[in-house]
């Protein structure tokens, strides 16, 4: 076990892109964990009896610092500037928690559902496989972003509705991948021996098949994390995701629409309103993609 673990670490540390990916991911994890320390959730517009800012009940709601809607350039008090009276730095920091919440929730739920469907289809085959795969093909034929937009519109605005929509239309890749892996493994001798001993199908799948087929699905899931966050941010940018003022990178970019689409040169004048939340999304997606590539390079037997 120790030898295998050392081999994995050695292979990761010899890959510069893997080091970059894990470094970025650790950075975002630390920002999410220490968000209350990095950006304290206080509302300076609301003071207590002693004249001190009142702590927000919901720290994910960006506090209103000024009632002016004009973008304010970066300063010592607000290093990333302000947009719509809200601190961009606060939104970027707490938006990291939102990104992890959306990405992990949707990835876990859609992957579990995909594994269940794909495992049943691959293990039993026949007409069960045919029906489940035709259902999967039907869902795959619908553009993911368009389907998520339509379902979110039907369910109503809100991050919970966005996550439901992305989960409903995001399980097919995991289902197809686990099915293909199970089709290769289910005829192996250890599976046939378990069947001959009368082991129930459920325990064969859980104990014998999934441990030998699930890792490519987990790698795929890690690489989907970034794209799911981008999709959620796109829906928030269109006004279908996070509520107004929520610490979400897409919602923050929604504040900039009047400025980046306004008069000529305004996009350069208010670059900070787009740059910081946009760069956070880029680096977040890059981190997960590099980590997924590194895990694939380490654990894919064809690349050993």
Residue 90 to residue 87: CA distance in whole angstroms: 5
pTM of the model: 0.87
Task: Check residue 53 and give its pLDDT.
Answer: 75
Over residues 262-275, mean pLDDT: 69
Question: Which residue in 1, 3, 17 sits closest to 295, CA to CA?
Answer: 17
pLDDT at 130: 92
**Contact between 105 and 290 (Cβ < 8 Å):** no
232-253: average pLDDT: 86
Confidence of residue 2 (pLDDT cuts 50, 70, 90): low
> Does residue 303 have a pLDDT over 60?
no
Average pLDDT of the residues in 75-81:
88
Tell me whether residue 299 is exposed, middle or buried, using C-beta atoms within 10 angstroms of its C-beta: 0 to 12, 13 to 18, 19 or more: middle
How many Å separate Cα 304 from the centre of its chain? 29
User: Which residues, including other chains, have CB under 8 Å from residue 182's CB and lie 6 or more apart?
Assistant: 118, 119, 122, 123, 209, 213
Model confidence at 272, pLDDT cuts 50, 70, 90, reads: confident
Alpha carbons 65 and 75: distance in angstroms, whole number: 14
The CA distance from 82 to 86, in Å, is 5
Mean pLDDT over the full length of the chain: 84
Q: Is the pLDDT of residue 211 over 70?
A: yes
The torsion of the CA quartet 264, 269, 270, 276, rounded to 10 degrees, works out to 120
Alpha carbons 92 and 276: distance in angstroms, whole number: 7
Question: For residue 4, what are the contacts with CB-CB under 8 A and spacing of at least 6?
Answer: none
Region 145-171 average pLDDT: 87
170-179: average pLDDT: 91
Q: What percent of the chain has pLDDT over 90?
A: 29
Range with the poorest average pLDDT among 126-135, 203-212, 265-274: 265-274
Q: Which of the two residues, 35 and 260, has the higher pLDDT score?
A: 35
Q: What pLDDT score does 264 carry?
A: 45
116: pLDDT strictly greater than 60: yes
**Given CA atoms 202, 208, 213, 215 in this order, what sign does their dihedral have?**
positive
In the prediction, which pLDDT does 300 show?
62
> Where does residue 58 rank: exposed (0-12), middle (13-18), buried (19+ CB within 10 A)?
exposed
Q: Which one has a higher pLDDT value, 168 or 9?
A: 168
In this predicted structure, which of 51-60, 75-84, 295-304 has the lowest mean pLDDT?
A: 295-304
Distance CA 206, CA 78 (A): 52
43 φ/ψ angles, rounded to the nearest 5 degrees = -110, 105
- Classify the phi-psi angles of 243: left when phi > 0, otherwise alpha if psi is within -120 to 50, otherwise beta: beta
Res 270 pLDDT > 60: yes
pLDDT of 255 > 70? The answer is yes
Runs of H (alpha helix) within 156-214:
159-168, 172-185, 189-196, 201-204, 210-213
Which range has the worst mean pLDDT, 77-81, 174-178, 195-199? 195-199
Lowest mean pLDDT among 153-157, 186-190, 260-264: 260-264
pLDDT over 80 at 190, yes or no: yes
**Which tens digit of pLDDT belongs to each residue from 39-54?**
888 777 766 566 677 7
pLDDT of residue 5: 64
């Amino acid at each position: 076990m120790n030898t295998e673990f050392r081999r994995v670490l050695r292979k990761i540390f010899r890959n510069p892109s893997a080091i970059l990916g894990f470094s970025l991911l650790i950075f975002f994890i630390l920002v999410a964990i220490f968000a209350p320390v990095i950006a304290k959730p206080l509302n300076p517009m609301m003071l207590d009896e002693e004249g001190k800012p009142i702590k927000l009940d919901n720290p994910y709601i960006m506090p209103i610092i000024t009632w002016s809607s004009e973008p304010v350039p970066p300063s010592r008090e607000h290093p990333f500037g302000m947009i719509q009276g809200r601190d961009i730095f606060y939104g970027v920091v707490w938006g990291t928690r939102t990104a992890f919440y959306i990405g992990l929730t949707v990835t876990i739920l859609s992957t579990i559902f995909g594994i269940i469907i794909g495992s049943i289809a691959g293990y039993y085959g026949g007409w069960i496989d045919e029906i489940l795969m035709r259902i999967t093909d039907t869902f795959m034929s619908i553009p993911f972003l368009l389907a998520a937009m339509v379902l979110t519109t039907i369910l109503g605005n809100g991050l919970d509705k966005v996550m439901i929509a992305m989960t409903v239309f995001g399980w097919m890749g995991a289902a197809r991948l686990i099915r293909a892996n199970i089709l290769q493994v289910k005829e192996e001798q250890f599976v046939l021996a378990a069947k001959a001993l009368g082991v129930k199908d459920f325990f064969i799948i859980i104990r014998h098949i999934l441990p030998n087929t699930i890792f490519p699905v987990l790698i795929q899931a890690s690489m989907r994390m970034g794209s799911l966050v981008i999709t959620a941010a796109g829906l928030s940018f269109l006004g279908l995701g996070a509520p107004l003022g929520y610490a979400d990178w897409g919602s923050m970019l929604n504040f900039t629409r009047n400025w980046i689409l306004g008069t000529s040169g305004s996009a350069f004048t208010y670059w900070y309103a787009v740059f910081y939340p946009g760069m956070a999304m880029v680096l977040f997606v890059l981190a997960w993609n590099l980590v997924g590539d590194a895990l694939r390079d380490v654990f894919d037997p064809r690349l050993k």
